[in-house]
Amino acid sequence: MDLTITTAQLAAAAADVVRLVPGKLVDPVLGGLLLTADARGVVLAANDRERTARISCDALVHTEGQVLVPAKPLAETLRALDQPQVRLVVEGARLAIRAEGARFALPLLDVDLHPGVTEPPAPSGSVSATVFASALSTVATTAARDEALPIFTGVRVRSEGDKLVLRATDRYRMAIATIPWTPGPSTIDALIPATLLAEIGKQVVGDVWIGVDANRLSLAWEDMVVTTAVLDGTYLSESKLALSDFDTHVEADADALAGATRRVALYTDARGVISLEVGDSEVRLRTADRQTGEAEESVKATIDGGRTSPSYQARYLIDALRPFAGRRIQLAIQPGMRATVVTAVEGGEVDLRYIIMPMLPPKTG
Amino acid sequence: MDLTITTAQLAAAAADVVRLVPGKLVDPVLGGLLLTADARGVVLAANDRERTARISCDALVHTEGQVLVPAKPLAETLRALDQPQVRLVVEGARLAIRAEGARFALPLLDVDLHPGVTEPPAPSGSVSATVFASALSTVATTAARDEALPIFTGVRVRSEGDKLVLRATDRYRMAIATIPWTPGPSTIDALIPATLLAEIGKQVVGDVWIGVDANRLSLAWEDMVVTTAVLDGTYLSESKLALSDFDTHVEADADALAGATRRVALYTDARGVISLEVGDSEVRLRTADRQTGEAEESVKATIDGGRTSPSYQARYLIDALRPFAGRRIQLAIQPGMRATVVTAVEGGEVDLRYIIMPMLPPKTG
């Protein structure tokens, strides 16, 4: 293999693949980047047996060929280069990375041990990358990080007519984003690792094509195709939540409420709980702890219905308000220990509902 | 105590004091902020028995008084406030922090248990804050972080006529900055904790007045006065280093050399060593490791004298080049395992010399 390529383009492609498929520590081959050069350019591919990524780049190929090299060292070398052009050339048991005045050489790994990258499932439909990324920025971060409960580390991706619904929960809160979907030949319903979707949300551009088969989901945009194994498990569905008894509706500015929550939260006890007292034209956030002191702050609000006044984990309320920054939100509150639903007063392209569970109120001083 | 003050001013003052005197976990009183309000305004003070900081702020004082409150919670509350004005008022056993729509209350600590803040040593002379901060940004980060060797966690601050010399070493490298000093009634020679000086370097403005007595050093600027206990120990002096046998001088662009070092350093073995081969009109950085591969890069340079080619810890060479960013540097190299001195080809207000020790060369592949 021998090719010349724009450093920035190859560096970006290698970095994207490494972030999508970080590799496994146990097996260097699964942390390898497979480079395949032919007349059309060079294809970078990775496969850790759960995820695959494949991206094609334009390159001036002098000699065709295929090599496997450690992915991260290659990506780091390319990222560090100032030189605009770079040449990749096999020299004995090394892949040399040559740039003006410099030569770096990585050991070749055994291509025959690599699983390769098989054809992805065909696309079932597509979404706009901007809207998809916006929805994922909230939904993918709501999933649990605790690997002991794999089912809660996933985002459920489901097509419903001309909508795509993205849902995640860690059991204490749930985010549900509904975005426009251009339906194709088949429907989608799969549970996908949230960490991968969070990274994908940072990379997507243009249109994103999504497809599924029996145990994989594929996402494709521009020159990139990613596949992932789907997670097992029947998923906590919204319909299992009691969401029928809203007696109090609060409308307020999301930023004002988040700011006040952040300040009052400095005074919570170890449980981190604050109470939201619903008044006539304001809500009052309040907490107290013998050690840390006490705090209360009022935020102007429009109140409709009853005066049910729940308590929440302050950090979950802050997380729930963050995606609505700059907008007015509605809290739909139920009596007792039943869920509160946060939505925007005026809808946008991403229709987002954020559900949080109330907590027992803070003990006062 | 009862006073009204601009939130931003008080927030900045409290944050500065907390960063200078982070307090001791063992004793909440030593993590307290002592607030003293009188007709002239309010003074914030902290003392953890090793360091003190005191800053005065303008305030509209309604009732004079003195209270001690937990410093970090107060600083965090003030930092989080959006409201432009804040009122501090004692309410029973609490200090209430009142802003529009909000009330926060911190428990009062026992003022009588606090050591207070005594008068600082009188100033011996002064330096320009900008030049002092620039020198500290290199010198304070060269000291060791290892608390097991307190002597190497210090910066030696010594006045020599109209110069102030700042020196630090972690035994593997040494930074020596010489800056203009406006001498006063006495001279200075003390060893000061580098972490405190690093923080001071971020805060100083205008002129900085420095004073010493038997076991304390004081630094004062604007409305702030800081004191610290001096460290014990006779300090590794430059004169004990063999710096007399320079046979090779290399002039090169600091950024080009640092960039190449950073790239080649990706290929070192666990020791992190790269070799610097001195040629006729370039230096060649080189390293190799059976596992990671091999790297070499050339940088244009003007060579004078011999061709002595030392090896260095790559990260120490990068640290040594960083303060010279954007400038041309000279490496003065000695044969054998003797120190190399890095200086700027053209001097600036801060006269900086960075000394690094060579290492045994990397084993090649």
Q: How far is B92 from chain A (nearest CA, A)?
A: 12
Structure confidence at residue A236 (pLDDT):
58
Nearest to A101 among B82, B104, B297 (CB): B297
Note which residues in 212-251 of chain B have CB less than 8 A from chain A: none
pLDDT of residue B64: 98
The total of other beta-carbon atoms located within 10 Å of residue B364's CB is 11
Q: Kindly state whether residues A301 and A274 are assigned to the same domain.
A: yes
In a domain, A277, yes or no: yes
Confidence of residue B365 (pLDDT cuts 50, 70, 90): very low
Distance from C-alpha of A187 to C-alpha of A210, rounded to nearest angstrom = 10
Nearest to A107 among B73, B104, B293 (CB): B293
- B85 in the same domain as B162: no
Separation in Å, CA of B218 to nearest CA in chain A: 33
Instruction: Report the pLDDT value the prediction gives residue A292, as an integer from 0 to 100.
Output: 85
Q: Is B296 on the interface with A (CB under 8 A)?
A: yes
What is the distance between the alpha carbons of residues B186 and B181, in angstroms, rounded to a whole number?
A: 12
Q: What confidence score (pLDDT) does residue B234 get?
A: 63
CB of B264 closer than 8 Å to CB of B287: yes
Considering CB atoms only, which of A77, A102, A296 is closest to B103? A296
B364 at A interface, C-beta within 8 A: no
Residue A24 pLDDT > 80 = no
User: Measured between alpha carbons, how far apart are the two ends of chain B, in Å?
Assistant: 72
* Weakest-pLDDT range from A209-218, A232-241, B292-301: A232-241
Polymer length in residues for chain B:
365
Instruction: Convert the pLDDT of each residue in B172-216 to its tens digit.
Output: 899 999 999 999 989 999 999 999 999 999 999 999 999 999 899
- Do B216 and B282 fall within a single domain? no
Q: Which of B105, B293, B298 sits opposite A105 (nearest CB)?
A: B293
Q: Hey, are the CB atoms on A103 and B296 less than 8 Å from each other?
A: yes
Angle (deg, nearest 10), helices B7-20 and B71-80: 140
Pick the residue from chain A with its C-alpha nearest to B291: A107
Residue A120 within any structural domain of the chain: no
pLDDT digits (tens, 9 = 90+) for B209-219: 999 998 999 99
With pLDDT > 90 as the criterion, what percentage of chain B qualifies? 86
**Bridge partners of residue A354, in order along the sequence:** A175, A342
Question: Is A201 found in the same domain as A292?
Answer: no
A151 and A232 share a domain?
A: yes
Task: Report which secondary-structure segment, H or E, holds B35.
Answer: strand B32-38
B251 and B282 share one domain: yes
Distance CA B287, CA B296 (A): 7
- Whether B266 and A106 lie within 8 Å, measured CB to CB: no
- Give per-residue burial for B129-152: e unless 16+ CB within 10 Å, then b: bebbbbbbbbbbbbbbeeeeeebb
CA distance A325 to B136: 40
CB atoms A103 and B293 under 8 Å: no
Lowest pLDDT segment from A69-83, A127-141, A231-245: A231-245
Q: How far apart are CA A355 and CA A142, in angstroms?
A: 11
Residues of B in contact with A268 (CB under 8 A): none
- pLDDT tens sequence across B139-172: 999 998 877 777 789 999 999 999 999 999 988 8
Which CATH number does the domain housing residue A322 bear?
Answer: 3.10.150.10
Q: Which of A82, A113, A144 is the last residue of a domain?
A: A113
Amino acid, single-letter form, for residue A155: V
pLDDT of residue B233: 67
d(CA B365, CA B362): 9
Residues B62 and B158 in one domain: no
Look up residue A92 and give its DSSP letter: T
In a domain, B119, yes or no: no
Give the nearest partner residue to A81 out of B106, B263, B267, using CB atoms.
Answer: B263
Query: Distance between alpha carbon B227 and the CA centroid of its chain, in Å?
Result: 15
Distance from CA of A245 to the nearest CA of B (A): 31
Helix (H, G, I), strand (E, B) or coil at A120: coil
**pLDDT by residue (tens digit) across B247-273?**
999 999 999 999 999 999 999 999 999
User: Does the beta-carbon distance from B73 to A293 stay under 8 Å?
Assistant: yes
Asked whether residue A261 falls in the same domain as residue A233, the answer is: no
User: Cβ–Cβ of B266/A77 closer than 8 Å?
Assistant: yes
**Strands B102-107, B351-356: pairing kind:** unpaired
Q: Nearest residue of A to residue B258 by CA position?
A: A80
Does any CB of chain A come closer than 8 Å to the CB of residue B82? yes
Is B267 an interface residue toward A (CB < 8 Å)? yes
ipTM of the assembly?
Answer: 0.87
Identify the CA nearest to A175 among candidates A138, A146, A129. A138
What mean pLDDT is predicted for residues B43-68?
97
pLDDT band at A364 (very low <50, low <70, confident <90, very high): low
A136 in a domain, yes or no? yes
Residue numbers of the domain that contains A60: 2-113
Contact B295 A104 (CB under 8 A): yes
Residue A269 with chain B: CB contacts under 8 Å: none
* CB-CB under 8 Å, A101 with B299: yes
- Residue A247 belongs to some domain of the structure: yes
Nearest chain B residue to A109, by CA: B291
**Shared-domain flag, residues B104 and B194:** no
- The DSSP code sequence of B264-319 is HHTT--TT-EEEEEE-SSEEEEEEEETTTEEEEEEEE-EEEE-----EEEHHHHHH
Residue % of chain A over a pLDDT of 70: 97
The residue from B238, B263, B279 where one domain ends is B238
The residue among A113, A144, A170 that closes a domain is A113
Rounded to 5 degrees, φ, ψ at A281 are -140, 25
**Which residues in chain A have Cβ-Cβ distances shorter than 8 Å to B294?**
94, 104-105
Q: Which residues of B touch A77 (CB under 8 A)?
A: 263, 266, 295
What is the average pLDDT across B9-20? 98
Do B102 and A296 lie within an 8 Å CB cutoff?
yes
Q: Give a yes or no: residue A219 inside a domain.
A: yes
Cα A49 to chain centroid, rounded:
20
Who contacts B177 (Cβ-Cβ below 8 Å, separation ≥6)? B135, B136, B138, B139, B165, B166, B167, B350, B351, B352, B353
Residues A134 and A51 in one domain: no
Q: Which residues of A touch B260 (CB under 8 A)?
A: 101-102
Bridge partners of A64? none
Number of folded domains that form chain B: 3
Q: Where are the beta strands (DSSP E) in A317-361?
A: 328-333, 340-344, 351-356
Return mean pLDDT, chain A: 94
Same domain? For A161 and A232 the reply is yes
Is the distance from CB of B158 to CB of B192 less than 8 angstroms? no
What is the reported pLDDT for A26?
79
Q: Is residue A365 scored above 80 in pLDDT?
A: no
Residue bearing the bigger pLDDT, B242 or B101: B101
Residue B95's DSSP bridge partners are B90, B106
User: Which of A297, A298, A299 to mutate: most B Cβ within 10 Å?
Assistant: A297
Check pLDDT > 80 for residue B44. Answer: yes
pLDDT per residue as tens digits for the range B224-234: 999 999 987 66
Residue B361 lies in a domain: no
Q: What is the pLDDT of residues A287-333, one digit of tens each?
A: 998 888 999 999 999 999 999 999 999 999 999 999 999 999 999 99
Reported as a single tens digit per residue, the pLDDT across A130-179 is 999 999 999 999 998 877 777 788 999 999 999 999 999 988 899 999 99
In a domain? residue A364: no
Nearest to B165 by CA among B149, B184, B181: B181
Pairing relationship of beta strands A125-128 and A207-212 according to DSSP bridges? antiparallel
Residues of B in contact with A80 (CB under 8 A): 259, 262-263, 266
Judgement on whether residues A202 and A258 belong to the same structural domain of the protein: no
Alpha-carbon distance of A263 to A154, in angstroms, equals: 32
Which of A76, A81, A263 lies at the smallest CB-CB distance from B102?
A: A263
